[in-house]
Amino acid sequence: MIIVMSPKADENKTDAVLERLKRAGFQIHLSQGVERTIIGAIRDRTRMGDLALAAMPGVESVVPILQPYKLASRAFKEEGTIVRVGDIAIGGEEIHVMAGPCAVESREQLLEAARLVKEAGATLLRGGAFKPRTSPYSFQGLEEEGLKLLAEAREKTGLKVVTEVMDASTLPMIAEYADILQIGTRNMQNFFLLREVAKVDKPVLLKRGVSATIEEWLMAAEYIMAGGNYNVILCERGIRTYESFTRNTLDLAAIPVVKHLSHLPIIVDPSHAIGKWRFVPPMAAAAVAAGADGLLIEVHPNPAEALCDGPQSLTPTNFQSLMQDLKSVAGVFGRKVGGN
């Protein structure tokens, strides 16, 4: 950490800052320039905490040097983490596609969707049983009935199941049915929920908050890991910007950046990011070219009849054609699309 003192700060103020740093166990490096004094303070990352340094008299600014996360950092663990879901390995050579409808709507719809995406090469089935909806008047999901249908689809197709957890109270029930627990974008900083999923022995798919920095996202992963669950998969799903033609702006640079800063696997959800099916396939291909370990894609047997997110869902035909492209792009980088 670097503390920049104000040009007008006298010696007493600087001494007070130094005193506090020493008490907190920091190693000090003092640089007294002509114009101002700069203090370098170094401490073992594991004893992090809060010091109200920026509130002390004479302090102009405080510049952190080390990343605030530890367990999630590449420095902590050099080789990439591989998250195993049964016989599936996420984060390795294989790129896994998680596909299916936004919401589980009916037995017929889900089994049909599962069959179709399996056939096209997906290895995991997505589908919401509990749905976070901006409006209280929108369809909120089939709840436990939806979970049972997901389990039935898994049995029939062999696809693993990923579904969203919205609250600690329904977590035990969802954990019984799901293979991967999804934390949605609105809950990325629901710290109570993060601590709860940390205690469950299931991989967690952690979506990036719609206005979270990459650092805040890795801090959310740190919450789960600090609670004992190391099987975290990150999911980029678009960030909120001023551009409103697409629903959000897909930040594909997050892929190589996360791989540089962290050892955790990262996948991409182009469907929610873009919000219009027409632009989903090129962004899915781009995600693979940028190094994603997987994709989360909305596919519906009949998007125009979907109860949720129809406009961003691919038809089965479009999905099949996309999967062909993904396999070829993956091949360029020595990877393959999982399960094929």
Q: How far apart are CA 154 and CA 123, in angstroms?
A: 10
For the chain, give the longest Cα–Cα distance.
Answer: 76
User: Using the rule CB under 8 A, which residue among 12, 23, 79, 134 binds its own copies?
Assistant: 134
282 belongs to the binding site for its own copies (CB under 8 A): yes
133 belongs to the binding site for its own copies (CB under 8 A): yes
Min CB(248)–its own copies separation in Å? 9
Q: How far apart are CA 99 and CA 92, in angstroms?
A: 19
User: Using the rule CB under 8 A, which residue among 288, 295, 299, 337 binds its own copies?
Assistant: 288
- Mark the segment that binds its own copies (CB under 8 A) among 23-31, 91-99, 111-119, 229-237: 23-31
CB of 141 closer than 8 Å to CB of 67: no
User: Using the rule CB under 8 A, which residue among 163, 187, 229, 262 binds its own copies?
Assistant: 187
User: Using the rule CB under 8 A, which residue among 287, 296, 297, 323 binds its own copies?
Assistant: 287
Min CB(222)–its own copies separation in Å? 6
Judged by beta carbon, residue 80 or residue 158, the one nearer its own copies is: 80
Min CB(149)–its own copies separation in Å? 20
89 Cβ contact partners less than 8 Å away, ≥ 6 residues apart: 82, 83
Residue 24 main-chain phi, psi, to 5 deg: -85, 5
96 Cβ contact partners less than 8 Å away, ≥ 6 residues apart: 88, 90, 123, 124, 267, 293, 294, 295, 337, 338, 339
Q: How far apart are CA 293 and CA 263, in angstroms?
A: 12
In the three-class reduction of DSSP (H, G, I as helix; E, B as strand; rest coil), residue 297 is classed as: strand
User: Using the rule CB under 8 A, which residue among 10, 11, 19, 328 binds its own copies?
Assistant: 328
CB of 233 closer than 8 Å to CB of 90: yes
Number of residues that bind its own copies (CB under 8 A): 104
Judged by beta carbon, residue 126 or residue 277, the one nearer its own copies is: 277
12 belongs to the binding site for its own copies (CB under 8 A): no
139 belongs to the binding site for its own copies (CB under 8 A): yes
User: Using the rule CB under 8 A, which residue among 173, 279, 318, 336 binds its own copies?
Assistant: 279
Over the window 247 to 276, marking each residue x when it contacts its own copies by CB under 8 A and - when it does not, the resulting string is --xxxxx-xxx--x------------xx-x
Q: How far apart are CA 312 and CA 303, in angstroms?
A: 8
User: Using the rule CB under 8 A, which residue among 23, 79, 201, 245 binds its own copies?
Assistant: 245
Could you tell me whether strands 2-5 and 59-63 are parallel, antiparallel, or unpaired per DSSP bridges?
A: antiparallel
* Two structure tokens written together for 242: 């001023």
Q: How far apart are CA 235 and CA 185, in angstroms?
A: 9
Min CB(181)–its own copies separation in Å? 15
* Two structure tokens written together for 116: 């179709």
- Mark the segment that binds its own copies (CB under 8 A) among 90-98, 104-112, 173-181, 186-194: 186-194
Over the window 64 to 103, marking each residue x when it contacts its own copies by CB under 8 A and - when it does not, the resulting string is -xx-xx-----x----------------------------
The strand pairing partners of 62, in sequence order, are 3
2 belongs to the binding site for its own copies (CB under 8 A): yes
Of residues 156-185, which lie at the interface with its own copies (CB under 8 A)? Answer: 166-169
Q: How many residues does the chain have?
A: 340
Min CB(96)–its own copies separation in Å? 18
Q: Give the per-residue SS3 of 234-275.
A: EEECCECCCCCCCCCECCCCHHHHHHHHECCCEEECHHHHHC
Of residues 103-132, which lie at the interface with its own copies (CB under 8 A)? Answer: 132
Of residues 26-45, which lie at the interface with its own copies (CB under 8 A)? Answer: 27, 29-31, 33-35, 38, 40, 42, 45
